[in-house]
Amino acid sequence: MTDFLLILISTVLVNNFVLVQFLGLCPFMGVSNKLETAMGMSLATTFVLTLSSVCSYLVYTYLLAPLELVYLQTVAFILVIAVVVQFTEMVVHKTSPLLYKLLGIFLPLITTNCAVLGVALLNIRKQNSFVESIGYGFGAAVGFSLALILFSAIRERIAVAEVPVPFRGAAIGMITAGLMSLAFMGFAGLVKF
Chain residues that interact with other proteins, rule: CB under 8 A = 59, 63-64, 67-69, 72, 75-76, 79-80, 83, 86-87, 90-91, 93-95, 97
Judged by CB, which is closer to other proteins: 55, or 148? 55
Q: Are 158 and 172 within 8 A, CB to CB?
A: yes
Judged by CB, which is closer to other proteins: 91, or 185? 91
Judged by CB, which is closer to other proteins: 67, or 98? 67
Q: Are 152 and 40 within 8 A, CB to CB?
A: no
Judged by CB, which is closer to other proteins: 25, or 72? 72
Q: How far apart are the first and last CA of the chain?
A: 15
Residue 45 has phi, psi (to 5 degrees) of: -65, -40
Q: How far is the CB of 158 from other proteins (least distance, A)?
A: 34
Q: How far is the CB of 62 from other proteins (least distance, A)?
A: 11
Judged by CB, which is closer to other proteins: 7, or 92? 92
Q: How far is the CB of 92 from other proteins (least distance, A)?
A: 9
Q: How far is the CB of 49 from other proteins (least distance, A)?
A: 18
- Maximum Cα interatomic distance, the chain, rounded to a whole number of Å: 60
Nearest CA among 4, 48, 34 for reference residue 154: 34
Q: Is 32 helix (H, G, I), strand (E, B) or coil?
A: coil
Judged by CB, which is closer to other proteins: 84, or 142? 84
Q: How far is the CB of 86 from other proteins (least distance, A)?
A: 6
Q: How far is the CB of 72 from other proteins (least distance, A)?
A: 6
Q: Are 52 and 107 within 8 A, CB to CB?
A: no
Residue 150: is it exposed, middle or buried by C-beta count within 10 angstroms (0-12/13-18/19+)?
middle
Q: What whole-number distance in Å separates Cα of residue 70 and Cα of residue 122?
A: 14
